[in-house]
Amino acid sequence: MRRDDMTTLQYVTGPSEHCRHITLIDPASQSPDVAAQRVMVALDCGTSMIFVGGSTDTPDAIVHATCEAIQEVLELRVFAASQNPECDEEDSKIPVVLFPGGAHALSPAADAITFMMLMNSTSRKFLVGEQVRGAPHLHNFAVEALPTGYVVCAPGGKVGEVGQAELIQADDVELINAYARCGQMFGFKLLYLEAGSGADSQVSPALIESAKQVEGLTLLVGGGIRTGAQAKIAAQAGADWIVTGTLTEDAADLAELRSRLSEVIDAL
């Protein structure tokens, strides 16, 4: 749910005293009802944005149902805040953002989309092809595009393979800086450093620090972050946002999810 006083891009790139947290929900891995329950817990723990997407083969209808279920949860929270004189209703509005694997998996119920170029892909499809297919639909949906450079770092996981990425290695600090500079020159506002969902090692702090030297980019870092200590490493290296997905889906129940997410978010 978008705030009344700013665009989603302003919210994402705006100032914050600390690194913020994004909960990634993969509609292929859970029903819309379960997604909504998990989002409710994530909001209690202090998450600041919801990403919906991740898989490459999720039908539009499932993505749409998931976005709608999450928006309903957010509306309830905003209503609850409006009844509490100590709460600012606007503060409880957080955006639901599509994080697509391609020109499918789109929904008009989302507030925005990370409109991404997989910058280190060797395939035209992921550099610009899927984006050309998706752009007219997004225009019709009036979903706000967040111009995003997406760079897959080792180990890279499935997205590295499917996206045919030339993986950035942990010590490729000059190369990641060049990607960041290139993204800035293209006019991207966000740069997402991705280690791959479920990665056994997170994006190296050296890469984050190097990308951070390029001014004017909001840095998102995800893949393999499961603990408060890992979250802190990314935040201290310069991440403006960290993204966690597997953490949510692996939790045995909502109580475990609450404790895991609190640990990560509190560390920021």
Q: Which is nearer to ligand 1GP, 143 or 199 (CB)?
A: 199
**Where does this chain touch ligand 1GP (CB under 6 A) — which range of 74-82, 164-172, 223-231, 251-259?**
223-231
How do strand 112-118 and strand 20-25 relate by DSSP bridges? Answer: unpaired
Interface with ligand 1GP in residues 226-245 (CB under 6 A): 243-245
Half-sphere exposure of 100 (CA within 13 A, CB side): 30
What distance in Å separates the CA atoms of residue 107 and residue 90, rounded to the nearest whole number? 23
Residues 3-42 that bind ligand 1GP (CB under 6 A): 24
Residue 37 CA: distances (Å) to CA of 53, 96, 148: 17, 15, 29
Question: What is the size of the binding site for ligand 1GP (CB under 6 A)?
Answer: 15
145 CB neighbour count, 10 Å cutoff: 19
Tokens 């966690």 belong to residue:
244
Q: Does position 194 bind ligand 1GP by CB under 6 A?
A: yes
- Which among 204, 167, 240 has a CA at the least distance from the CA of 13? 240
Q: Is 223 in the site for ligand 1GP (CB under 6 A)?
A: yes
- Binder to ligand 1GP among 162, 225, 234, 265 (CB under 6 A)? 225
- Smallest separation (angstroms) from ligand 1GP to the CB of 196: 7
Give residues in contact with ligand 1GP (CB under 6 A).
24, 54, 194, 197-199, 222-225, 243-247
